[in-house]
Protein backbone atom coordinates (compact mmCIF):
# COMPACT_ATOMS: atom_id res chain seq x y z
CA UNK A 1 0.00 0.00 0.00
CA UNK A 2 1.31 3.39 -0.89
CA UNK A 3 2.16 5.40 2.19
CA UNK A 4 1.17 8.87 1.09
CA UNK A 5 1.99 10.24 4.54
CA UNK A 6 5.62 9.17 4.03
CA UNK A 7 5.77 10.98 0.73
CA UNK A 8 4.42 14.12 2.35
CA UNK A 9 6.95 13.94 5.17
CA UNK A 10 9.79 13.39 2.66
CA UNK A 11 8.61 16.39 0.69
CA UNK A 12 8.78 18.48 3.84
CA UNK A 13 12.28 17.30 4.64
CA UNK A 14 13.42 18.20 1.14
CA UNK A 15 12.18 21.69 1.80
CA UNK A 16 14.15 22.08 4.97
CA UNK A 17 11.73 20.82 7.60
CA UNK A 18 13.95 18.75 9.88
CA UNK A 19 11.10 18.01 12.26
CA UNK A 20 9.36 16.06 9.54
CA UNK A 21 12.36 13.74 9.55
CA UNK A 22 11.89 13.24 13.29
CA UNK A 23 8.42 11.88 12.57
CA UNK A 24 9.83 9.47 10.00
CA UNK A 25 12.43 8.29 12.51
CA UNK A 26 9.78 7.72 15.15
CA UNK A 27 7.67 5.81 12.70
CA UNK A 28 10.37 3.50 11.38
CA UNK A 29 12.91 3.18 14.20
CA UNK A 30 11.39 -0.07 15.42
CA UNK A 31 11.27 -1.70 12.01
CA UNK A 32 14.79 -0.66 11.11
CA UNK A 33 16.25 -1.95 14.38
CA UNK A 34 14.42 -5.24 14.00
CA UNK A 35 15.75 -5.54 10.47
CA UNK A 36 19.31 -4.84 11.57
CA UNK A 37 18.90 -7.35 14.40
CA UNK A 38 18.84 -10.08 11.80
CA UNK A 39 22.45 -9.26 10.92
CA UNK A 40 23.77 -8.03 14.23
CA UNK A 41 22.78 -9.61 17.52
CA UNK A 42 24.37 -7.15 19.91
CA UNK A 43 21.76 -4.63 21.05
CA UNK A 44 24.17 -1.69 21.36
CA UNK A 45 25.65 -2.31 17.96
CA UNK A 46 22.24 -2.66 16.35
CA UNK A 47 21.18 0.70 17.79
CA UNK A 48 24.40 2.32 16.53
CA UNK A 49 23.89 0.95 13.04
CA UNK A 50 20.25 2.06 13.08
CA UNK A 51 21.27 5.58 14.03
CA UNK A 52 23.83 5.62 11.29
CA UNK A 53 21.20 4.43 8.83
CA UNK A 54 18.86 7.28 9.60
CA UNK A 55 21.63 9.86 9.42
CA UNK A 56 22.77 8.49 6.08
CA UNK A 57 19.20 8.57 4.86
CA UNK A 58 18.86 12.19 5.92
CA UNK A 59 22.03 13.18 4.11
CA UNK A 60 20.86 11.43 0.98
CA UNK A 61 17.40 12.95 1.07
CA UNK A 62 18.16 15.51 -1.61
CA UNK A 63 18.59 12.72 -4.12
CA UNK A 64 15.60 10.62 -3.07
CA UNK A 65 13.35 10.76 -6.11
CA UNK A 66 10.31 8.88 -4.90
CA UNK A 67 10.83 6.06 -7.42
CA UNK A 68 10.39 3.63 -4.55
CA UNK A 69 8.58 3.92 -1.25
CA UNK A 70 10.50 5.64 1.50
CA UNK A 71 10.52 2.50 3.60
CA UNK A 72 11.97 0.38 0.81
CA UNK A 73 14.67 2.97 0.25
CA UNK A 74 15.71 3.21 3.89
CA UNK A 75 15.42 -0.56 4.20
CA UNK A 76 18.17 -0.85 1.57
CA UNK A 77 20.34 1.72 3.35
CA UNK A 78 19.91 -0.23 6.61
CA UNK A 79 20.94 -3.53 5.05
CA UNK A 80 23.97 -1.97 3.34
CA UNK A 81 25.06 -0.24 6.53
CA UNK A 82 24.70 -3.44 8.55
CA UNK A 83 26.63 -5.43 5.96
CA UNK A 84 29.42 -2.84 5.89
CA UNK A 85 29.79 -3.16 9.62
CA UNK A 86 30.07 -6.92 9.39
CA UNK A 87 32.56 -6.60 6.56
CA UNK A 88 34.71 -4.08 8.41
CA UNK A 89 34.97 -6.43 11.36
CA UNK A 90 36.46 -9.24 9.36
CA UNK A 91 39.03 -7.22 7.39
CA UNK A 92 42.65 -6.99 8.35
CA UNK A 93 43.72 -3.74 10.00
CA UNK A 94 46.41 -3.11 7.37
CA UNK A 95 43.80 -2.40 4.71
CA UNK A 96 43.98 1.42 4.80
CA UNK A 97 41.16 2.03 2.41
CA UNK A 98 38.65 0.19 4.51
CA UNK A 99 39.92 1.78 7.71
CA UNK A 100 39.29 5.19 6.25
CA UNK A 101 35.85 4.17 5.07
CA UNK A 102 34.97 2.76 8.44
CA UNK A 103 36.41 5.76 10.21
CA UNK A 104 34.37 8.07 8.01
CA UNK A 105 31.24 6.18 8.81
CA UNK A 106 31.79 6.51 12.52
CA UNK A 107 33.14 10.04 12.57
CA UNK A 108 31.05 12.37 14.64
CA UNK A 109 28.74 9.68 15.87
CA UNK A 110 30.97 8.01 18.45
CA UNK A 111 29.69 10.35 21.14
CA UNK A 112 26.25 8.85 20.81
CA UNK A 113 27.44 5.59 22.28
CA UNK A 114 28.41 7.18 25.59
CA UNK A 115 24.87 8.23 26.28
CA UNK A 116 23.34 4.79 25.91
CA UNK A 117 22.67 2.83 29.05
CA UNK A 118 21.46 -0.73 29.44
CA UNK A 119 18.59 0.78 31.35
CA UNK A 120 17.26 2.40 28.18
CA UNK A 121 17.04 -0.97 26.49
CA UNK A 122 15.50 -2.78 29.46
CA UNK A 123 12.83 -0.17 29.58
CA UNK A 124 12.04 -0.95 25.96
CA UNK A 125 11.55 -4.60 26.78
CA UNK A 126 9.12 -3.72 29.51
CA UNK A 127 7.36 -1.43 27.09
CA UNK A 128 7.10 -4.25 24.58
CA UNK A 129 5.57 -6.57 27.14
CA UNK A 130 3.07 -3.96 28.30
CA UNK A 131 1.93 -3.30 24.76
CA UNK A 132 1.53 -7.01 24.08
CA UNK A 133 -0.53 -7.48 27.24
CA UNK A 134 -2.72 -4.50 26.47
CA UNK A 135 -3.22 -5.83 22.95
CA UNK A 136 -4.37 -9.19 24.30
CA UNK A 137 -6.87 -7.46 26.55
CA UNK A 138 -8.52 -5.53 23.73
CA UNK A 139 -12.03 -6.43 22.62
CA UNK A 140 -11.91 -8.73 19.57
CA UNK A 141 -12.95 -6.30 16.86
CA UNK A 142 -10.49 -3.61 18.02
CA UNK A 143 -7.62 -6.11 18.10
CA UNK A 144 -8.51 -7.43 14.65
CA UNK A 145 -8.72 -3.98 13.14
CA UNK A 146 -5.37 -2.80 14.45
CA UNK A 147 -3.64 -6.08 13.61
CA UNK A 148 -4.89 -6.01 10.03
CA UNK A 149 -3.56 -2.50 9.74
CA UNK A 150 -0.17 -2.90 11.43
CA UNK A 151 0.73 -6.49 10.67
CA UNK A 152 -0.77 -6.91 7.22
CA UNK A 153 -0.57 -3.31 6.09
CA UNK A 154 -4.13 -3.22 4.76
CA UNK A 155 -5.74 0.12 3.97
CA UNK A 156 -8.86 1.24 5.81
CA UNK A 157 -10.98 0.38 2.78
CA UNK A 158 -9.52 -3.12 2.63
CA UNK A 159 -10.08 -3.61 6.35
CA UNK A 160 -13.67 -2.45 5.97
CA UNK A 161 -14.09 -5.15 3.31
CA UNK A 162 -12.54 -7.84 5.44
CA UNK A 163 -14.49 -6.93 8.56
CA UNK A 164 -17.66 -6.13 6.65
CA UNK A 165 -18.22 -2.75 8.23
CA UNK A 166 -18.14 0.92 7.15
CA UNK A 167 -14.79 2.72 6.83
CA UNK A 168 -15.83 5.08 9.59
CA UNK A 169 -16.11 2.12 11.95
CA UNK A 170 -12.61 0.99 10.96
CA UNK A 171 -11.23 4.44 11.74
CA UNK A 172 -12.92 4.46 15.09
CA UNK A 173 -11.83 0.90 16.02
CA UNK A 174 -8.19 1.51 15.17
CA UNK A 175 -8.19 4.77 17.07
CA UNK A 176 -9.84 3.23 20.12
CA UNK A 177 -7.38 0.36 20.05
CA UNK A 178 -4.43 2.77 19.98
CA UNK A 179 -5.89 4.90 22.74
CA UNK A 180 -6.58 1.92 25.00
CA UNK A 181 -3.00 0.68 24.66
CA UNK A 182 -1.56 4.18 24.86
CA UNK A 183 -3.21 4.70 28.22
CA UNK A 184 -1.26 1.77 29.60
CA UNK A 185 2.14 2.73 28.18
CA UNK A 186 2.05 6.49 28.63
CA UNK A 187 3.57 6.35 32.08
CA UNK A 188 6.40 4.11 30.89
CA UNK A 189 7.61 6.41 28.16
CA UNK A 190 7.43 9.70 30.00
Site for another protein in 157-186 (CB under 8 A): 171-172, 174-175, 178-179, 181-182, 185-186
Q: Which parts of 33-52 interact with another protein (CB under 8 A)?
A: 33-34, 37, 43, 46-47, 50-51
150, 146, 135, 134: which is closest to 173 by C-alpha? 146
In whole angstroms, what is the distance from residue 163 CA to residue 148 CA? Answer: 10
How many Cα atoms are found within 13 Å in the side-chain-facing hemisphere of 73? 19
**Residues in binding contact with another protein, number by CB under 8 A:** 80
Backbone angles phi, psi at 7, to 5 degrees: -60, -40
Contact 19, 44 (CB under 8 A): no
Residue whose CB is less far from another protein, 163 or 171: 171
Is 69 near another protein (CB under 8 A)? no
Q: Which parts of 101-160 interact with another protein (CB under 8 A)?
A: 108-109, 112, 115-116, 120-121, 123-125, 127-128, 131-132, 135, 146-147, 149-151, 155-156
Residue whose CB is less far from another protein, 87 or 133: 133
Q: Which parts of 4-33 interact with another protein (CB under 8 A)?
A: 4-23, 25-31, 33
In whole angstroms, what is the distance from residue 45 CA to residue 168 CA? Answer: 43
Amino acid sequence: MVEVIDEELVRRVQKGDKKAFDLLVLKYQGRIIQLINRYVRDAHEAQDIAQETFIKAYRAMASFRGDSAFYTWIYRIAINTAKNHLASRSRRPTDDEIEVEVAEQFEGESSLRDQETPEGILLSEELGRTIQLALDELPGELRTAITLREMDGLSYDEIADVMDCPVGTVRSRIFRAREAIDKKIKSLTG
